[in-house]
Amino acid sequence: MTSREELFAALEGVFDPELRRPITELGMVGKLEMDSGKAVAEIKLTVVGCPAANRIEADVLAALRTVVGVTAAEVFLTVMTPAERAELTAKLTAGRPPKTNPFGKDSLTRVLLVGSGKGGVGKTSVTVNLAVELANRGFSVGLLDADVFGFSVPGQLGLTDKPIRIDNLIVPPVAFGVKVISIGMFVDGNQAVAWRGPMLHRTVEQFLTDVYWGDLDFLLVDLPPGTGDVAISLGQLLPTGEHIVVTTPQLAAAQVAERSAAVGLQTGQSVLGVIENMAWLPQADGGRFELFGAGGGSQVAQAIAKLANAEIGLLGQIPLDVELRLGSDSGRPVVATHPLSAAALEIGRIATQVIQAGPKLTGKKLPLNVF
Ligand SMILES: Nc1ncnc2c1ncn2[C@@H]1O[C@H](COP(=O)(O)OP(=O)(O)O)[C@@H](O)[C@H]1O
Ligand SMILES: [Mg+2]
């Protein structure tokens, strides 16, 4: 006789794709019975019309069929009651009161804010690839697209899924192992976002407080170019934030880039380093064609070092790479599709430096994985 325990144990390997936890822990398994060789499972979805329903159903059926004695399997989908949902959200927030920012001063998550002086220098491409690279290495990674007016993170990750809402929690869709939230997921089509400061502040604050990020090792933030309202809000909301400044080698662009880190410094955040993107175009003979000149990255690093009164390094120089460009156009980041391309290898080296620069665990309590 196959017991309920055996069936339940098999379901421990089935994960909710968005919450990234076993459905057994999430309270999603209801009735679970055997009827002459046939396993029948009730799966309680978090919300009606849960986009992951088909996938969960297929995974449950597959898991049940692995149990010895099961010759057939059937799933019936129901929806959690409000009380069950409340229990789930309480578990997910681990008792944290609603509407509080999990990335305050005591947070153990490393917050990396990627900024630039101007647009088009590859800030989003760097952020997305760095996030996917860190996730590939086993870290738990979130990505907040704070480039409210020029959002392009969902496109670069091929994400068309909308976040789902479980009561007051917004559950971010996951792409290439990264939890992602973007204003682009809340506006229809290519609609423009035309908001003033207070609305922007509330939105980025909500992205921090109402989104279920879980225990993150890294939260990456794609900042808007320059030094606007959003940068100031995030300076206040993310006190442990470490800035990464992306620039091209062009000296004219360097001065503007310096300023992007200045806001962070003024609000007490730190600067981790500078990335020079589009550094050169590799030539067939192994040479480097410096399309945008040279020296921008180190100039920015030196200037910020003066501002910060600290040593600021050049974390890396990413060459121009057609695979990177194709990857961002097609929503398939180059580090995932062409890990051996010149750009992906350099992003890998940058990721290693980022990891080695932290985490700042000394003297801090280790996170207790409540859930
Ligand atoms: N190293 C690179 N090699 C080739 N194309 C790149 C590189 N970095 C960025 N791009 C391309 O340049 C364009 C602008 O990059 P994007 O990441 O959107 O910049 P930003 O976020 O700074 O505006 C995109 O089409 C992107 O694919
Ligand atoms: Mg961008």
pLDDT, tens only, 305-357? 998 888 999 999 999 999 999 999 999 999 999 999 999 999 999 999 999 99
Ligand in closest contact with the CA of 122: 1
Of residues 30 and 167, the one with the higher pLDDT is 30
Cα angle vertex 3, ends 73, 56, to 5°?
40
For ligand 1, say whether the CB of 324 is within 6 Å of any of its atoms: yes
User: Ligand 1: does its nearest atom lie under 6 Å from the Cβ of 317?
Assistant: no
Dihedral (CA of 147, 218, 140, 128) sign? positive
Judge whether residue 237 has pLDDT over 90: yes
State if residue 347 touches ligand 1 by the CB under 6 angstroms criterion.
no
pLDDT for 152 equals 94
CA 120 – ligand 2 centroid, Å: 7
Give the torsion sign (CA, 340, 342, 343, 345).
positive
CA nearest ligand 1 atom 27, residue: 325
Is the pLDDT assigned to residue 364 strictly greater than 50?
A: no
Q: How far is CA 255 from CA 77, 102, 121, 289, 365, in A?
A: 57, 34, 14, 23, 40
Atom of ligand 1 lying closest to residue 152 CA: 18
| CA–CA separation, 321 and 324 (whole Å) | 5
Q: Residue 318: CB within 6 Å of ligand 1?
A: yes
Point out the ligand nearest to the CA of residue 153.
2
- Closest to 126 measured CA to CA, from 264, 322, 318: 318
Tokens of 213: 């990020």
Query: For residue 78, what pLDDT is reported?
Result: 95
Q: Tell me, in angstroms, the distance from the centre of ligand 1 to residue 124's CA.
A: 7
**pLDDT value of residue 361:** 41
For residue range 172-194, what is the model confidence (pLDDT) as tens digits? 999 999 999 999 998 877 676 77
Question: Please, what are the domains in the chain?
Answer: 4-92 (3.30.300.130), 110-356 (3.40.50.300)
Q: How far is CA 279 from CA 11, 276, 319, 322, 346, in A?
A: 49, 6, 5, 13, 11
For residue 313 and ligand 1, the question of a CB distance below 6 A is answered with: no
Closest residue by Cα to atom 24, ligand 1, is 325
What is the pLDDT confidence band of residue 363, given thresholds at 50, 70 and 90? very low
Query: Which ligand neighbours the alpha carbon of 120 most closely?
Result: 1
Query: Which atom of ligand 1 is the closest one to the Cα of 147?
Result: 21
pTM: 0.89
Candidate of 125, 130, 149 to mutate for ligand 1, largest count of ligand atoms within 8 Å of Cβ: 125
Whole-number Cα distances in Å, 170 to 54, 163, 210: 20, 6, 6
Ligand found nearest the CA of 277: 1
